[in-house]
Every structure is written in C-alpha cells, then in structure tokens.
Amino acid sequence: MCPGFFLILLYKVSKLFFLKNLFNYNPKRLLVCTEVHKSLANLYYFPSVGSHLPNSRLLHHNSSVFIEQPNFIAGFTDGEGCFTLGLSPKKVQPSFQINLEKCDKAILEQIQKALGVGYISRMGTKALKYQVGAIKDLEVIIRYFENNPLLTHKWSDFQLFKQAVVLILNKEHLTEQGFKKLVAIKASLNTGLSDKLKESWPDIIPAPRPLLPLKTINDPYWIAGFVNAEGCFSIDIVKSSGNKLGFQIRLRFRITQHIRDELLMQSFADNLNCGFIEKYPKGNAVNYCVLKFSDITDKIIPFFKQYPIVGKKSKYFSGFCEAADLMCKKQHLTASGFERIKQIKEEIFTNE
C-alpha cells in the first residue's frame, strides 16, 4: 500500500483529535494536537519534500484540506468575518458570520466543516451567509479564535463580542442593568448603534474598546487566508510612448486596509520580503503594494502557489500567473502576446 495512504490516514486522525480537544477545551492537549495537525497537513499538502512548489492538480484536489487550516480560517475571518450583536426589546442575538458570493459556497462549506457549528443560508440572489448564532455554538467560536488569534483590529470587535456572550451566558441580559451593558458594548462594536437605539438610549456611554496588542504575522496560512479575503491581483495596461506597441503592461499585487492596521501591512512587506506601503492622501486607507516584476515572479507567485488562492479569486490569480509567464518570455512585447494579455484582462478581470 502506498505511503501516501498512511499519510492521509494520519492527517485525518490528527484532525479528529484536534477537534475533540477543541470542543472539550484541554489547552495543553490542544496545543500539541494543533502542532501535530499543522505538521501533518504540510506533509499531506506538500508530499514532495524536495519540491518547492506542488503541482496544480494537487492544489486543486486538496484545497479543502488547506482551507481547514486553523490560521487560514483566522486570516480569512480577519478579512471577511463579522461579529455582530442584534438588540431589540424582545430579543438579544449575538452572531458570527461570513458573507460571500454564491460561487464561493465551497469555501463557506469547508469553514463550516472545520468549525463544526453554524449554517449557510442565502442572502438575496447572489450571496450566501455562513452564520453561527446559538450560544453553545458561539462558545466553540470563541474558543477557536482564542487559540487562533485574529491579527487586525477585528480582534477588538472579537473581545467586545466575547464580553457580550459572557453576559448572555450569565443571564445578565435579562436585567435592565445587564441589557444596558450590552447596549454599551454594541456602541463600540463595528459601526455602533442604530439611530433607533440611540433614541432609546441617548445617554449611553460606549464600552471601552480593547486596544489591539502589537502583533506581527508569523504564519503563512494566516497570510493565505487574509489574502484570499482581501488581496487583489491586477493587470494594468497603460499608454506608453516608449513602447512600440504604444502600451505598457504592469502587474500589481495589493492589499488595502484601514489606516489603523498600517503596522500589520508593514508586516506583510517584512514577511514576503518585498513591496512597499502607500497611504492615500485623503481618507483612512493604506495599501501594501508589490509592483516590481522580479518580486512578483520570484516571491509573490511562488508563495501563493504553495499557499494557494481558492474560490473565485483563484481565476484572477490564474490569469495573473499566465500574464506573468508571457512577460517572462518577453511575449508581451509582441502583438500576439499583448493581445493575449489584453484578452486575459478583459475576460477574467473585467467581466464578472
């Protein structure tokens, strides 16, 4: 029997032990299980020890294994997740959710499978929502992100959300004072109070928003998860009098975040060993950007082939890689090569 069979079996057994200790919450065993699970996942996902990059068939076949990596989910949640608190006189509803387009249903299904709680429902005709609302299930979510921390300022929302869930677990929301505490938490959570709640609680003082401790990126799976949520691969075609075809082609990798996460954006540059930070002259946004062609071909593309882009965004990455390959061969300087890159941009990046 082939060695790969035993490797897959070991990986799946380690996953069962990981989930068991997550739900029973034994910290020491959970730490050991997590490290074993990660190590086996690396071997399972990248079986050729001497090979720098896995082949495309393996990437596609094992994408579900990759998505289930705890830090991938943490990074993806930092980009797409949301911790909410619904309040009304008759109902208190904390909720964790991730909203995606319908074409990315498989991503939500794998996250749901990995977390073991929640459900997926429609949002109109083009989107889906993965949601966890039951208090006992939210306890699982809280333990999960305590063990696989968020790195952006969404961590502060998570801390406030956790405070709200604890109040509800202790039945404090059934008292006027407890409900007032929830209103104060909601005032500091996400976009704050609705106009209706502001009218009902005009004198509410927002709960102190926990300050995000200085965090740096130390896990490639978190980078992959975050870029799958927030990253952008683009092909720019601009007029150029110095080019015989009259146009210049530039590839760009970019992540845009609120200015409050500027230090985290710098951490991308440090980890990927390329790129730069640019601030918008107006507004509250900051970009991590990679434009240098050799950095894109030697660092960005190899990294995201090893820690792949999945779902709808994978087609953008595929087109991005094809354009880079044509440019490496100098075919973008020919009429046929230029037209092919232009076609990629129009078919993949322009048409939805």
pLDDT of the residue at 23:
42
230 and 342 share a domain?
yes
Q: pLDDT tens digits, residue range 273-304?
A: 999 999 887 778 999 999 999 999 999 999 99
What is the band of 44 on the pLDDT scale with cuts at 50, 70, 90? Answer: very low
What is the band of 47 on the pLDDT scale with cuts at 50, 70, 90? Answer: very low
pLDDT of the residue at 351:
55
Average pLDDT over residues 107-126: 95
Q: CATH code at 125?
A: 3.10.28.10
165 and 191 share a domain?
yes
Asked if residue 276 belongs to a domain, the reply is: yes
Average pLDDT over residues 186-190: 93
Asked if residue 214 belongs to a domain, the reply is: no
pLDDT of the residue at 115:
96
261 and 332 share a domain?
yes
225 and 326 share a domain?
yes
Asked if residue 207 belongs to a domain, the reply is: no
pLDDT of the residue at 63:
62
Which among 26, 58, 73 is the end of a domain? 73
Q: Are strands 119-123 and 81-88 parallel, antiparallel or unpaired?
A: unpaired
Whether the CB-CB separation of 187 and 112 falls below 8 Å is answered with no
Average pLDDT over residues 129-158: 96
What is the band of 214 on the pLDDT scale with cuts at 50, 70, 90? Answer: confident
Tally the domains of the chain: 3
261 and 317 share a domain?
yes
State the Cα angle at 68 between 13 and 136, rounded to 5°: 90
Q: Is the pLDDT confidence value at 13 over 90? A: no
Q: pLDDT tens digits, residue range 73-87?
A: 999 999 999 999 999
Asked if residue 333 belongs to a domain, the reply is: yes
What is the band of 144 on the pLDDT scale with cuts at 50, 70, 90? Answer: very high
Range of the domain at 54: 3-73
121 and 192 share a domain?
yes
pLDDT of the residue at 29:
52
Whether the CB-CB separation of 3 and 33 falls below 8 Å is answered with no
53 and 94 share a domain?
no
Residues 6+ apart with CB under 8 A from 124: none
Asked if residue 209 belongs to a domain, the reply is: no
Which among 56, 73, 90 is the end of a domain? 73
If you average pLDDT over every residue of the chain, what do you get? 83
| Burial zone of 257 (CB within 10 Å; 0-12 exposed, 13-18 middle, 19+ buried) | buried
Asked if residue 212 belongs to a domain, the reply is: no
178 and 243 share a domain?
no
Average pLDDT over residues 119-147: 96
